[in-house]
Structure 1
Amino acid sequence: MGVAIRAAGEGDRELVVRLLDEAFQDDPVSGWIFPDAEYRRTTHPKLMAAFTDAVLADGRIDLAEDGAACALWLSVPGEAHPQDGPDEAVQLREAVDPGNERVETIARLMEAGHPADRAHEYLWMIAVKPARQGEGLGAALIRHVLDRCDREGLPAYLEASSERSTKLYQRLGYAFTDRTLDLPDGPRMYPMWREPRTALR
């Protein structure tokens, strides 16, 4: 049975933030950003809200119709954009947790590692309610966009936050890039790239 998917709007903001918060509370990268578990419970939702707002403004959030999963996507142009204006990494830290330099560090690291030479679809985050994981919801949300990528000849990119999660992405056609993103004294992230399948025929 297929998964019904719709585009999320502003009215879905709190649902998306809750989904992301639940799904990533125990994620290795979230644990590195907020090492204290009690503090993470109260502050982590602010980071997820900042990510949600950024994608609602500039990208697209796909939502399973039953509210059990969501995927945050950005369409990235093929040319580097000028760094005029305010520093987004600093803005993120100040909005989420002003005294926590790790919020700024993760933003800078991901920006520096992001490929800039080809237009692509960027899967920023995907979240499935913990009780619903393993049902294929995440794969269905990703395929929803990858099918369009294949039709339009667009590659896709993501950073997996754990080695375990890379297995799903590999099954969907993503492959490791040539380097990892290593957080200082913390976990490793795994940038992955997917060529459109139309280009391989």
Structure 2
Amino acid sequence: MQNNINEKQIVIDILLKSFVDNKSVNFVVKQDNKREARIRKLMEYSYFKGKNSGQIYISKDQKACAIVLDPSKQKTTLKSIVWDLKLVFGCMGISNVKKVLKRESEIKKHHPDFQFLHLWYIGVDPAEQGRAKGTEMMARIIHDAREKRLPIYLETSTERNFPFYEKLGFKVISEINTLGYPLKMYLKEN
């Protein structure tokens, strides 16, 4: 149990630091004096989703991590409903629910209509960025996807990452420009 607690804390801490200024994250999170605590709740939710319907990756030096979901494994359970409610009340706030649901509905229209792995989050501790840690993490994810013979899908609003994904062989399959920031959808066939 201790390893899971440590793993969870490591992932949440890396993602919190990596996504504190992310446009997509801040679109979802209620913007108030509890913003950072709300982002932490979003990362706790994301960890839960990764553990229950995907895979959690952590680099050996514990400075990078990723959450990859397998949409075919996602199930609605009482526990998942409780986590969804925690997300609404602890992260988004009731006033944001409508806009977030609209955004999610728009994004789902762009999901592939075949089985895929969803790279939901990849984060590198900001003090370690630019040292190939993200590239190393992506190599593991791409290797695992090839083993499963599944393509990798992702969305990103971080413009500086567009060339990173393209260099790794991801192709833009769609883009949404109605959110106040560009959101690109990428796919890497295996």
TM-score range, shorter chain: 0.7 to 0.9
In structure 2, the residue matched to 1:71 is 66
TM-score (norm 2): 0.81
* Partners of 2:52 and 2:76 in 1: CA distance: 19
Structural mapping, 1:106-125, within 5 Å: 106-115=103-112, 117-125=113-121
Task: Specify whether residues 83 and 51 from structure 1 end up closer, same or farther in structure 2 by C-alpha distance, changes over 3 A only.
Answer: closer
- Partner deviation per Cα, 1:142-182 (whole Å, 9 max, x = no partner): 110212333443211111122221111111110000x2134
- Partner deviation per Cα, 1:68-100 (whole Å, 9 max, x = no partner): 01010112339xx89999889964424533323
In structure 1, the residue matched to 2:92 is 97
In structure 2, the residue matched to 1:176 is 172
Task: Specify whether residues 90 and 82 from structure 1 end up closer, same or farther in structure 2 by C-alpha distance, changes over 3 A only.
Answer: closer
In structure 1, the residue matched to 2:142 is 146
DSSP 3-state at the match of 2:160:
coil
**Post-superposition shift, 1:103?**
4.1
Letter in 1 for 2:187: W
In structure 2, the residue matched to 1:32 is 27
* Partners of 2:84 and 2:32 in 1: CA distance: 24
In structure 1, the residue matched to 2:46 is 51
Task: Specify whether residues 59 and 9 from structure 1 end up closer, same or farther in structure 2 by C-alpha distance, changes over 3 A only.
Answer: farther
**Post-superposition shift, 1:107?**
3.6
DSSP 3-state at the match of 2:70:
strand
Would you say the 8 A contact 2:154–2:187 is kept in 1? yes
Task: Specify whether residues 90 and 73 from structure 1 end up closer, same or farther in structure 2 by C-alpha distance, changes over 3 A only.
Answer: closer
Letter in 2 for 1:118: F
Higher helix fraction (1 or 2)? 2
TM-score (norm 1): 0.77
**What count of residue pairs does the alignment treat as equivalent?**
184
**Post-superposition shift, 1:67?**
1.2
Would you say the 8 A contact 1:122–1:157 is kept in 2? yes
Match of 1:130 among 116, 126, 130: 126
Would you say the 8 A contact 1:50–1:96 is kept in 2? no
Residue 193 (structure 1) aligned with residue 187 (structure 2):
yes
* Partners of 2:126 and 2:155 in 1: CA distance: 20
- Partner deviation per Cα, 1:47-83 (whole Å, 9 max, x = no partner): 11111111112211110122101010112339xx899
Task: Specify whether residues 54 and 35 from structure 1 end up closer, same or farther in structure 2 by C-alpha distance, changes over 3 A only.
Answer: closer
DSSP 3-state at the match of 1:122:
strand
Task: Specify whether residues 28 and 97 from structure 1 end up closer, same or farther in structure 2 by C-alpha distance, changes over 3 A only.
Answer: closer
Would you say the 8 A contact 2:14–2:123 is kept in 1? yes
* Structure 2 unaligned spans of 5+: none
Which runs of structure 1 show a deviation greater than 6 angstroms over 4 or more consecutive aligned residues? Answer: 81-90
